[in-house]
A and B are shown apart, each in its own frame.
Chain A
Amino acid sequence: MLPNRSRTSVLVFLLPPLLLYCAAVLFPILQSLFLSFFSWNGISDMEFVGLANYVRMLTADDIFWRSFFNALVYLAICLVLQLGGALVVASLLTSLRRGRELIKTLYLLPAVISTVAIAFLFVRIYSIDPVGLLNQLLHWIGLGSLERAWLSDVNTVLAAVSAPEGWRFTGLYMLIIYAALIAVPKELEEAAVLDGASKWTLFTKIRFPYIRPVWITTTIMATTYGLRGFDIPYLMTNGGPGQSSELLTTYMYKTAFTSTDFGYASTIAVFIVIECLVAVGLILFMLKRKADS
């Protein structure tokens, strides 16, 4: 327990960042909530429409629902690549004796490259004319029948725009999980091995439960980042072809800045905020229930 005076000083020092947070995060969210009750194109007078924007969004907008389901698929692919990939790589790293630093750096590299560069890089990789890396590889390994214009095919485009995001951050989450894994006390693992635990049991009963708090944090981070994913799909396909790779975020952006429908775009923004909160709530609930059981 801190003495009274230092508690006051801690509170005083916490106040500026809290105010900054309110101004930069809470205020815009409230602003969006306010705007979502209006019809406004930016230059005319604002017209109060009550819940009409919400009714339109939930009942009469096919692109909204399409973007919502696309965003869920995008999230699923990102999570599998980011968390699954990170866990596998981090586990393998712990049993590696040499070259750990080099591999860590190589995996982390994509996280520091600019988004625009990544988007252009992947556009080239997926290209069919001129032949990009992916189609070339398929040709070399005898899977030429799978060659296609990945970004123009409505069946593959969503996975194609999700993969770069997953690829990009695998290294970052790997680093976090790796740090947690090496903190697992060696005595616990040794005791389990002496009791005859297999590698799988060791992982599921000792290591994973031990890193659960870190896992929850990374899951929340990856989920909220995934739900807010915007730049790579926007740069690579602009949501197309058609609405095949449209996400809620790109749709919101276009509604605001292309259609100049700021009221309706705010409604979508409010939905994204709620969606993120619900997602985080669900993760906490599920993982907590698992921990309790």
Chain B
Amino acid sequence: MKKLLRAAAVAAVAALALTACGGGGAATDPSNVSPTGEIKPREISWLLSRPADGAVINIMKKLADDYAKDHPGFALNLITTPDRPSYIQKLETLAAANKLPELFDTDATPFAQQLAKQGKMVEADKLLKSLDLYDDYRPGALDYQRFDDGSLYMIPFQFELEFIWYNKALLQKAGVAVPQSLDDIPAMCTALRNAGITPIAIDGQDQWPLERYVAYQPFRAAGPDFVQKLKKGEAAFSDPAGQKTVQWMAELGKAKCFQEGFSAQGYSDAQNQFTSGEAAMYNIGTWELPSLATDKLNPDVRDDIDFFTLPTTPGSVTAANEFVSPSGIGMAVNSKTYDPLVSDFLKFALEKYPAEYAATGALSPTTTVETTVPANATPLYKKALETANTLGEKQAMPWDTQLDPTTNGRLQQELVLLVQGNITPEQFTKTMDDAIKQNAPKFFK
């Protein structure tokens, strides 16, 4: 009866989501990465959250076609929802309905960890080791996908570095230099504002870009562990590292670092402001290299654009070469539908993927291939790629993949209020510490 009610409960919401995926078979052992038996070609689905005409999808489509030549009847059905919040809702609904397809994208979120705990995902480290590919991956790319306990359930398809891009001419006009410390940024914003320049262009609508900033000070002051503790309530915003970021965010707001009305502006609005020479800085990752470091970039600003990596602070416990270096949303393998065919296709695709991906000018999550710099690239392109070779060991995790979803939502809302000056740092601290206290225990028990 309980099962029936539960199934009925999700039926309505599931109807809104996909009908294309699903799959039979009893639950299997998530650690059994080498299923035995005959390879029976069929259509398998990958529910993903990546740009529809992006490199990952194009390459996987081609690899699937190649595989189908030797395995008639095989097809890879790629179902993409690039808008991350909508995607997450779709994923969670399908998970609730127990209708996840063979492959699906997810970050190392608390929700994904619950799925893993229930044995719904194949152990990725074992899978990669069984395919003899584990050692090819950059340790940082795999670490980004790991849960707190070090277990690995997602396979990375990208490797990105996040920089603060800046316009040399605008900085010069305002008489400021590249900040030596994170603490220099508010004063820098004031100088830029006085010169009539928008200091930082930000996509406020999607909320995660502003959430990046809150992670920076604690990463420098207390290292990558801070957020791991914070999310479970073992650390708090009222701690010294927490207070440092709260005060800093308020200072950024007071110095009017972000464009006016930023909370209602989107991704392309922010990018346009920077590439049109209106804003002096823009914090974004190497996935934007094609638009920031090639001849597609507006010729008026092309020679003025450069980047710096996350500044350190006095007494920083992390080094200058350690910053946000995500390997993108990961791909999980559904243990319920994992069979010889899925295993064989993954072996085929994952072996061939890095070379194809590097040829598009992107950084591969493996170290086995060299990225091709496109013919229309500016010198900055190569400089950005080379930064990957000097990367340190620790990486700053984006907080939106770390906190439980309710606290995360509240943080995103309160941050805007803090930066706009609608609430005081004290109010922010209290609201957030209360939110963690209330929501974390349910997720991290």
Q: Bound state CA distance, A199 and B161, in angstroms? A: 72
A260→B6 contact, CB < 8 A: no
A46 at the interface (CB under 8 A from B): yes
Query: Nearest CB to that of A237 among chain B residues?
Result: B264
CB distance from B253 to the nearest CB of A (A): 12
A240→B12 contact, CB < 8 A: no
Q: A151-B263, A258-B85 are in contact. List 9 more A-B contacts (CB 8 A).
A: A42-B10, A43-B114, A127-B261, A129-B273, A154-B417, A241-B420, A242-B417, A242-B423, A257-B92
A258→B409 contact, CB < 8 A: yes
B420→A42 contact, CB < 8 A: no
B85→A241 contact, CB < 8 A: no
* A-B pairs, 6 with minimum CB distance: A149-B261, A42-B96, A151-B264, A257-B89, A242-B417, A259-B406
A69 at the interface (CB under 8 A from B): no
Q: Bound state CA distance, A123 and B265, in angstroms? A: 9
Residues of A contacting B405 in the complex (Cβ-Cβ under 8 angstroms): 258-260
Residues of B contacting A215 in the complex (Cβ-Cβ under 8 angstroms): none
Residues of B contacting A149 in the complex (Cβ-Cβ under 8 angstroms): 260-261, 263-264
Contacts A46-B2, A149-B261, A152-B264; A240 near B92 (Cβ below 8 A): no
Residues of B contacting A239 in the complex (Cβ-Cβ under 8 angstroms): 413
> Most B CB atoms within 10 A — which of A44, A154, A240, A262?
A240
A219 at the interface (CB under 8 A from B): no
Residues of A bordering B, CB below 8 Å = 28, 31, 34-35, 40-44, 46, 123, 126-129, 149, 151-152, 154, 236-243, 254-262
B133 at the interface (CB under 8 A from A): no
Residues of A contacting B414 in the complex (Cβ-Cβ under 8 angstroms): 242
CB distance from A162 to the nearest CB of B (A): 15
**Chain B, range 68-82, C-beta contacts under 8 Å to A:** none
Query: Nearest CB to that of B439 among chain A residues?
Result: A259
Residues of A contacting B219 in the complex (Cβ-Cβ under 8 angstroms): none
Q: Bound state CA distance, A240 and B9, in angstroms? A: 30
Contacts A31-B8, A31-B9; A43 near B115 (Cβ below 8 A): yes
Q: Bound state CA distance, A44 and B273, in angstroms? A: 45
Q: Bound state CA distance, A261 and B406, in angstroms? A: 9
**Chain B, range 48-89, C-beta contacts under 8 Å to A:** 85, 88-89
CB distance from A109 to the nearest CB of B (A): 25
B93→A259 contact, CB < 8 A: no
Q: Bound state CA distance, A239 and B410, in angstroms? A: 11
A236→B114 contact, CB < 8 A: no
Residues of B bordering A, CB below 8 Å = 2, 5-6, 8-10, 12-13, 85, 88-89, 92-93, 95-96, 111, 114-115, 118, 198, 204-205, 207, 259-265, 273, 405-406, 409, 413-414, 416-417, 420, 422-423, 439, 442
Residues of B contacting A240 in the complex (Cβ-Cβ under 8 angstroms): 263, 413, 416
Q: Can you identify 25 A-B contacts, CB atoms within 8 angstroms?
A: A42-B92, A42-B95, A43-B96, A43-B118, A44-B114, A127-B264, A129-B198, A129-B261, A129-B273, A149-B260, A149-B263, A152-B261, A152-B264, A152-B416, A154-B422, A240-B263, A241-B413, A241-B422, A242-B413, A258-B405, A258-B406, A259-B409, A259-B439, A260-B92, A260-B96
B261→A128 contact, CB < 8 A: yes
Q: Bound state CA distance, A126 and B261, in angstroms? A: 10
CB distance from A164 to the nearest CB of B (A): 14
CB distance from A151 to the nearest CB of B (A): 4
CB distance from A41 to the nearest CB of B (A): 7
Interface of B (DSSP majority class): helix
Query: Nearest CB to that of B206 among chain A residues?
Result: A238
CB distance from A233 to the nearest CB of B (A): 12
Q: Bound state CA distance, A263 and B240, in angstroms? A: 37
Query: Nearest CB to that of B88 among chain A residues?
Result: A258
Residues of B contacting A152 in the complex (Cβ-Cβ under 8 angstroms): 204, 260-264, 416, 420
Residues of B contacting A40 in the complex (Cβ-Cβ under 8 angstroms): 9
Residues of B contacting A258 in the complex (Cβ-Cβ under 8 angstroms): 85, 88-89, 405-406, 409
Residues of A contacting B262 in the complex (Cβ-Cβ under 8 angstroms): 152
CB distance from B436 to the nearest CB of A (A): 14
Q: Bound state CA distance, A12 and B23, in angstroms? A: 40
Residues of B contacting A242 in the complex (Cβ-Cβ under 8 angstroms): 413-414, 416-417, 422-423
Residues of A contacting B423 in the complex (Cβ-Cβ under 8 angstroms): 242
Residues of A contacting B118 in the complex (Cβ-Cβ under 8 angstroms): 43-44
B9→A129 contact, CB < 8 A: no
B417→A241 contact, CB < 8 A: yes
Contacts A43-B95, A241-B422; A35 near B263 (Cβ below 8 A): no
Query: Nearest CB to that of B2 among chain A residues?
Result: A46
B409→A254 contact, CB < 8 A: yes
CB distance from B74 to the nearest CB of A (A): 30
A236→B264 contact, CB < 8 A: yes
CB distance from B101 to the nearest CB of A (A): 16
Residues of B contacting A256 in the complex (Cβ-Cβ under 8 angstroms): 13
B111→A260 contact, CB < 8 A: yes
Residues of A contacting B9 in the complex (Cβ-Cβ under 8 angstroms): 31, 34-35, 40, 262
Q: Bound state CA distance, A59 and B92, in angstroms? A: 29
Residues of B contacting A257 in the complex (Cβ-Cβ under 8 angstroms): 88-89, 92-93
Residues of A contacting B260 in the complex (Cβ-Cβ under 8 angstroms): 128-129, 149, 152
Q: Bound state CA distance, A35 and B10, in angstroms? A: 11
CB distance from B165 to the nearest CB of A (A): 19
Q: Bound state CA distance, A260 and B95, in angstroms? A: 11
CB distance from B407 to the nearest CB of A (A): 9
A31→B12 contact, CB < 8 A: yes
Q: Bound state CA distance, A34 and B409, in angstroms? A: 26
Residues of A contacting B422 in the complex (Cβ-Cβ under 8 angstroms): 154, 241-242
Query: Nearest CB to that of A35 among chain B residues?
Result: B9
CB distance from B255 to the nearest CB of A (A): 17
Residues of A contacting B265 in the complex (Cβ-Cβ under 8 angstroms): 127, 129
Q: Bound state CA distance, A126 and B263, in angstroms? A: 12
CB distance from B254 to the nearest CB of A (A): 16
Contacts A41-B114, A128-B260, A258-B89; A243 near B413 (Cβ below 8 A): yes
CB distance from B167 to the nearest CB of A (A): 17
Residues of A contacting B413 in the complex (Cβ-Cβ under 8 angstroms): 239-243
Residues of B contacting A128 in the complex (Cβ-Cβ under 8 angstroms): 260-261
Residues of A contacting B111 in the complex (Cβ-Cβ under 8 angstroms): 41, 43, 260
Query: Nearest CB to that of A56 among chain B residues?
Result: B438
CB distance from B400 to the nearest CB of A (A): 11
Residues of A contacting B8 in the complex (Cβ-Cβ under 8 angstroms): 31
CB distance from B442 to the nearest CB of A (A): 8
Q: Bound state CA distance, A264 and B261, in angstroms? A: 33
Q: Bound state CA distance, A261 and B10, in angstroms? A: 13
Residues of A contacting B261 in the complex (Cβ-Cβ under 8 angstroms): 127-129, 149, 151-152
Query: Nearest CB to that of B97 among chain A residues?
Result: A42
